[in-house]
Structure 1
Amino acid sequence: MKVIFKLFLALFLFNMSSCSSDDSKDDGKVGDVVTIEGVWKLTALAVESSFDFNNDGVYSRNLFEETPCYLDDFINFRADGSVNIVSALTNISVDVTSSTDYEHVYECLDGLDQESSWIKEGNLVTVENGSTDLEGYIFENTLIVTLRDTFEIEMFDGTNYFYQEEDIVLEYTKVQE
């Protein structure tokens, strides 16, 4: 049975449209925090369940390590308050051959390329979209974004299929000013 995996980023990027900019940007470092302007590359995408999509015998919660789907994902924060988010999507399905023999399989899909706007106050970065603001925290050259209950995946317990919602933690590393 094949079900499309609702990757958090679809929701994340959908909520990013129709944003307005703000002129309150940082001019330099604030303590251990670097300026946000520049390109931030996705370096980790952790979910609550572990998978072994790359068949190396090691189950991991970090989908970035398990699939090649997210290798080109990035966020580009511009000094004018605009932001460009590029992200892949993934189709995950359950392949069941018997009540005790099943696995999750994935397929990389064409992703999204979304424009929005951002503001920064100290370590907190907010991408605005009306009443649905998305927040992340910067620590040195790392941006951490947690999305609650946005990873929805079909699971199989040997008898029944069910859906499970999990948190996603995205980690971006600054690679370019």
Structure 2
Amino acid sequence: MKNTWFVLCFTSSLLLTSCFNDADDNLTIEGVWRLTAMNVEDGFDINEDGVANVNLLNEIDCVNNETLVFESKGVVTSNKTFNPDIKIALLEGTTDAYVFDVECDVEGTINFAVNYTQNNNLIIINESEAILNGNQLTRVFENAINIYSEDFINVIATKKVTLVYTKQ
């Protein structure tokens, strides 16, 4: 009975160890990652189809080709960025009615090559944190979207944006 219990415990510990090692092996950032979501809490109905969406990419008609390329030498590059100019104004006297001004063809592309480090699922890109979860990489930017007064002059609130990249 003791031998059976020992074999069972030993086999279980090997199985658990191999599962944890496999999980760590899947946490590789190297490769091409495409922007697949630009999430904003509570969402907006920018395209006025009657459905608010938290993923702004589903609400605007701008062409999105943004990719991040993580190289094995600790460098991440991008020469295809996505930078629409999205202005949001709260209608005066309301708490949830908005006016939108979206410009897709913002002049210029932001090209960059910066260093990154990886510690398990935490990726540091130029002092900015990203979380790796399977085939998705998530970056959160606080106060990234301004909510203006109806005249688009004063910033009355801000919203954080969560960018989600999917490995290609």
User: By the TM > 0.5 criterion, same fold?
Assistant: yes
Cα distance in 1 between the residues matched to 2:115 and 2:140:
18
1:116 to 107, 114, 137: 114
The verdict on how the C-alpha distance between 1:82 and 1:155 changes in structure 2, with shifts beyond 3 A counting, is: same
Q: Give the superposed CA RMSD.
A: 3.1
Instruction: Please state if 1:170 is matched with 2:163.
Output: yes
| TM-score normalised per structure 1 | 0.67
Q: Deviations over 1:88-146 (max 9, x none)?
A: 22223458999789621211124422211111010000012xxxx10111111111111
Which residue is equivalent to 1:147?
141
Question: Conserved in 1, the CA contact under 8 Å of 2:139 and 2:163?
Answer: yes
Cα distance in 2 between the residues matched to 1:36 and 1:172:
11
Which residue is equivalent to 2:99?
103
Question: Conserved in 2, the CA contact under 8 Å of 1:69 and 1:90?
Answer: yes
2:26 to 2, 24, 33: 33
Question: Conserved in 2, the CA contact under 8 Å of 1:69 and 1:89?
Answer: no
Cα distance in 2 between the residues matched to 1:168 and 1:66:
14
Instruction: Please state if 1:134 is matched with 2:134.
Output: no
The verdict on how the C-alpha distance between 1:122 and 1:52 changes in structure 2, with shifts beyond 3 A counting, is: same
Question: Conserved in 1, the CA contact under 8 Å of 2:43 and 2:52?
Answer: yes
Report the residue type matching 2:99 in the other structure.
E
Cα distance in 2 between the residues matched to 1:163 and 1:169:
20
Which residue is equivalent to 1:43?
36
The verdict on how the C-alpha distance between 1:29 and 1:150 changes in structure 2, with shifts beyond 3 A counting, is: farther
Going by fraction, where is strand more abundant, 1 or 2? Answer: 1
Cα distance in 2 between the residues matched to 1:80 and 1:127:
13
Instruction: Choose 1 or 2 for highest CA Rg.
Output: 2
Question: Conserved in 1, the CA contact under 8 Å of 2:92 and 2:149?
Answer: no
Structure 1 gap ranges (5+): 1-27
Q: CA deviation at 1:60?
A: 1.2
Going by fraction, where is helix more abundant, 1 or 2? Answer: 2
Q: CA deviation at 1:34?
A: 3.3
Cα distance in 1 between the residues matched to 2:121 and 2:91:
48
Question: Conserved in 2, the CA contact under 8 Å of 1:33 and 1:138?
Answer: no
Bigger relative contact order (CA 8 A; separation at least 6): 1
| TM-score normalised per structure 2 | 0.70
